[in-house]
Amino acid sequence: MANEVLIDDHDPQAKIASPHLDLSGQPQSRTSGRRENRVLRVLHVVNGEHYSGAERVQTHLARRLPECGVSVDFACLTPDRFPKQFDVESSQLFDMKMRNRWDIAAARRVAKLARDGNYQLLHAHTPRSAMIAAYASRQARRPWVYHVHSPAAADSTRPIQNRINAMTERFCLLSTAHQITVSNSLRNHTIGQGFDPANVTTVHNGVPAIRPDRSEFPQVGGVWTLGIVALHRPRKGLETLLDAQRIVRDAGLDVRVRCVGPFETPSYEASIRSRVDHLQLGPDVEFTGFVNDIPTALSQLDAMVLPSLFGEGLPMVVLEAMAAAVPVIATRVEGTPEAIRHDMEGLLAEAGNATDLAAQIQRLVCGEVSWHALAEAAAQRHAEEFSDLAMARGVADVYRKVLER
């Protein structure tokens, strides 16, 4: 549902309006049926301009952490799509909009909110929010933790921006009490930067069980719809998928591609549409734009493809596809192989290699590997290791570890 950003952007009690929020301007204490002294109050400091993988992690944590004795609210620094899509009634959203990228004054507003709301801990998720949380933590005298969703130094194809983000992140992390990484590969990367292993914990991303009933299944020799679900940007490898689709179609296989999600920039969207035309794939490539209902979008696919080039921690969409029993074809990038094991829950190709990606697609479409076997194995592995409750419990354990010091 759409939420309207209201009140003075620089009012320290400014809230984002929503039908489920109290509009008194004061943080409300909630106990979720538990005794007050057992509930931890945590303020997540988030960007808020997008609603993609990291934002879905934040939403699932808000929904499941109360079951672990943790009350969660959010301070949004660049509120846009996140407050419009966020629908967890037990959490409050506060507008802490920054005037610009280096608006440290936002940290004073977050610090005041942390004190007035009796939050015991701050939790940041991006280099920008780490900067604000680090300053606010010092002013409010509250510890803060940092959630590493992807390596800042390899987050985009803009090297200067990557370098600035990585330097900002590294400086701010000198004061963090603990880091949560979404994959073991990211934990190793973080420790390799010189951080104490005792203060870095892997908590794998998790998603709800969303397996829909399915009455129709793809058939060898039939039409196959492959989907990529993402905030489309260069590192997601959409060009590689389109090149692979051309190879597969030239081999006589009827494979369509559905691109689900928005583009990061209009210029990148234009370049992709130009590539589709150049490859003469126009009728066989569909662009849906942003969708809020990811489970339904996944249920309409025969396989989910994520041809990332770099910069993946543990992709939420891979876990969501597993939960929906949709086979995954992905690349061997960072944390992805921790969820998808080749020829077991899905198929893996080398990043940036359209020929290899096409070969894996052909193996599935031609029946060399069983669609049903991959789907069942993926759903089972999700249930055993990548549920949203398991993620929430892991994060709650980190909170308590920090506060017990």
Residues 6+ apart with CB under 8 A from 286: 256, 257, 258, 259
Cα separation values, 341 from 25, 49, 313, 381, Å: 48, 33, 16, 10
Q: What crossing angle do the helices spanning 127-140 and 159-172 adopt, rounded to 10°? A: 20
pLDDT on residue 75: 97
pLDDT on residue 169: 82
Question: What is the C-alpha separation between 333 and 326, in angstroms, rounded?
Answer: 20
Overall average pLDDT of the 298-320 stretch: 89
Domains 4-206+387-403 and 224-385 are alike in CATH topology: yes
Q: Is the pLDDT of residue 276 over 50?
A: yes
Residues 6+ apart with CB under 8 A from 278: none
Domain ranges of the chain: 4-206+387-403, 224-385
* Confidence category of residue 296, pLDDT binned at 50, 70, 90: confident
Beta strand 303-306 pairing with 285-289: unpaired
Contact between 74 and 44 under an 8 Å Cβ cutoff? The reply is yes
pLDDT mean across residues, the chain:
87
Contact between 184 and 314 under an 8 Å Cβ cutoff? The reply is no
Q: Is the pLDDT of residue 70 over 60?
A: yes
* Confidence category of residue 353, pLDDT binned at 50, 70, 90: very high
Q: Does domain 4-206+387-403 have CATH number 3.40.50.2000?
A: yes
- Domain 224-385 is of which CATH architecture? 3-Layer(aba) Sandwich (3.40)
Query: Measured in Å, how far apart are the chain's first and last C-alpha atoms?
Result: 40
* Confidence category of residue 62, pLDDT binned at 50, 70, 90: very high
Question: What is the C-alpha separation between 95 and 69, in angstroms, rounded?
Answer: 25
pLDDT on residue 157: 58
Question: What is the C-alpha separation between 333 and 348, in angstroms, rounded?
Answer: 9
pLDDT tens, position by position, 165-224: 778 888 889 999 999 999 999 999 999 999 999 999 999 999 998 887 787 899 998 999
pLDDT on residue 357: 98
* Segment (H or E) for 316: helix 316-323
Overall average pLDDT of the 48-57 stretch: 84
Among candidate residues 3, 199, 183, the one with its CA nearest the CA of residue 87: 3
pLDDT on residue 153: 55
